[in-house]
Amino acid sequence: MTAIYKICHAGEWAAAEARGIYAGSAKDREDGFLHFSTREQLAGTLARYYADATDLVLVAVDPEALGEALKWEPSRDGALFPHLHDTLPLSAVRWSAPIARGAGGTFTLPQAP
């Protein structure tokens, strides 16, 4: 299966790398699961929740490595989004890279290395 993606603030991701596990953002913890997006859903997620952010990291995750804790659940406009009902082990991470801002402030998503 293709990767699923987590958008993180750079400081939160650096802390997760130091700990070896990512427990989620404040919003994730409030909702009781970690929010992920497919590649096709990323632009909408960035526009809706991160429009003013400048310190973002895109984390590509192997969904198969997450087991039964990964659920595809209806969210924005009824679309199915991947939600992880557990912490994210860094062993499931394929890669991570900064999300840049292009001309006019648009996000430029990194590609897999």
> For residue 79, what is the domain's CATH number?
3.20.170.20
Domain that holds residue 90: 4-108
The answer to whether residue 113 sits within a structural domain is no
pLDDT at 88: 98
Which pLDDT value is given to residue 78? 84
Q: What percent of the chain has pLDDT over 90?
A: 83
Contact of 40 with 5, CB cutoff 8 Å: no
In a domain, 100, yes or no: yes
Q: Residue 99 pLDDT more than 90?
A: yes
Please give the tally of structural domains in the chain.
Answer: 1
Give the pairing of strands 70-74 and 4-9: unpaired
Q: Pick the residue with more confidence: 111 or 58?
A: 58
The model's pTM is 0.93
Q: Give the pLDDT of residue 5.
A: 98
